[in-house]
Structure 1
Amino acid sequence: MIRRVLGVLLMALLLGGCERGMHDMYDQPKYKSLAPSPLFANGNSARTPPPGSVATTAGEAADSSGGRRGALPAARSIASPTPLDEQGRSLAQGDMGGRAASNPLPLTMALLRRGQQRYDIYCAVCHGAAGDGDGMIVRRGFPAPPSYHSERLRNAPDSHFFQVITHGYGVMYPYADRVPVHDRWAIVAYIRALQLSRHAPVYQLDASDRAQLQASAGANR
């Protein structure tokens, strides 16, 4: 009998502890907007977003009069290795009034290798290694993106791909907060290389490439 009473008391104490823990979760310590904080040198709890991030509003607040749906204008990057702003405008070319229609970065093997690396990390899971729109999660039921080899996307300007990476499109989430401006243009360059790999004019190939192409065509007959 005594053991039962002790057991009931112990269970009540345990349940009381759980309830207290739940209340701690309900009322977590946090800073309110513009509240001071001794943790940072400037005394402010609000932190400046990292360069390249794009502020967005999501959830129920997006439909309210005090919220805004979609992307907000992003501040210029202060750490970009090239003279580009956060909208992809080339400051070196004086394109201050609109988007850069073509990739403003010099096309080098280093840029393509960087673009391939970033593409494999952020893009291939949906768009596929070759850009066919058959990435690994698409094969498991996720909506398929369009193929980069479609006529529409082969004729699209470089700025289209840059803006989609920056702001997202359809079910694609914006990547501006995780892919810097320079890397976005590197990915665009690599996408162009993927497109060219299937649609390059034969006359642009050198003699050795044409010989390999003819040998491959003969072996497939």
Structure 2
Amino acid sequence: MTRALIALMLLLPVSACDQMSHQPRYDSYEPSSLFADGKSMQAPPDGAIARDDPERLAALQQKPAMSLGLIERGRERFDIYCTPCHDHAGYGQGAVPARGFPHPPSFHIARLREAPSSYFVDVITQGHGVMYSYADRVMPADRWAIAAYIRALQLSQDPPVAALSPDERAKLGEGGS
């Protein structure tokens, strides 16, 4: 008797779940009193952009000219999307890996220093390894801006000697800091 009661109690909630599959809905072109225009299928809101929009895809193919504004925009976007994993200096020591997730590679390793900027744009677009795609979050022009900022980070951490002033080169020759 007790087993039958327990079995009945366990089956009772499962039988109630079928109500989810019988919810009211509208077909695409069916009239609806829900919206003011009487249609169930509504136009996308103003400013909505399709993923395969030709202008958006064209922006992905066109590398913009390097400028201070581009680097500043890249820094802003990098701080928002990239620093949780890559940290502010690009060494891959962000807050996410500090909590047990895999460490991304440092942007300062030789392989990534030698990679073309389009590589970074492609990784942002497609994802790589455990990094998922940011194509739905980062606009194509901003992907190029992030790539430009990564180049600035790489340069800031290992500037070529030719870029140093004569005084700074003299300090290097002395073994100075």
TM (normalized to structure 2)? Answer: 0.72
Equivalent residue number for residue 109 of structure 1:
68
Pairing 1:182-201 to 2, within 5 Å after superposition: 182-201=141-160
TM (normalized to structure 1)? Answer: 0.59
Equivalent residue number for residue 127 of structure 1:
86
Give the whole-Å Cα distance in 2 for the aligned partners of 1:178 and 1:40.
32
Give the whole-Å Cα distance in 1 for the aligned partners of 2:50 and 2:112.
25
- Structure 2 unaligned spans of 5+: 1-12
Q: Is the 8 A contact 2:26 2:40 kept in 1?
A: no
Gap change, CA 1:77 and 1:213, over 3 Å in 2? farther
Equivalent residue number for residue 137 of structure 1:
96
Q: Is the 8 A contact 1:138 1:144 kept in 2?
A: yes
Structure with bigger RCO (C-alpha 8 Å, 6+ apart): 2
Aligned amino acid, residue 51 of structure 1: I
Equivalent residue number for residue 77 of structure 1:
55
- RMSD of aligned residue pairs (Cα, Å): 3.5
Gap change, CA 1:126 and 1:36, over 3 Å in 2? farther
Give the whole-Å Cα distance in 1 for the aligned partners of 2:49 and 2:36.
19
SS at the partner of 2:152? helix
Equivalent residue number for residue 51 of structure 1:
49
Q: Is the 8 A contact 1:35 1:46 kept in 2?
A: no
Aligned amino acid, residue 163 of structure 2: Q
State the 1:77 CA deviation: 2.9
1:49-99 Cα deviation digits (max 9, x unpaired) = 94374xxxxxxxxxxxxxxxxxxxx34235xxxxx615x212xxxxxxxxx
Gap change, CA 1:44 and 1:190, over 3 Å in 2? same
State the 1:203 CA deviation: 1.0
Equivalent residue number for residue 218 of structure 1:
176
Give the whole-Å Cα distance in 1 for the aligned partners of 2:112 and 2:31.
49
Aligned amino acid, residue 218 of structure 1: G
Aligned amino acid, residue 76 of structure 1: P
SS at the partner of 1:85? helix
Aligned amino acid, residue 189 of structure 1: A
Q: Is the 8 A contact 2:78 2:146 kept in 1?
A: yes
Gap change, CA 1:165 and 1:212, over 3 Å in 2? farther
Equivalent residue number for residue 169 of structure 1:
128
Q: Which has the higher helix share?
A: 2
Gap change, CA 1:160 and 1:43, over 3 Å in 2? same
Give the whole-Å Cα distance in 2 for the aligned partners of 1:28 and 1:212.
77
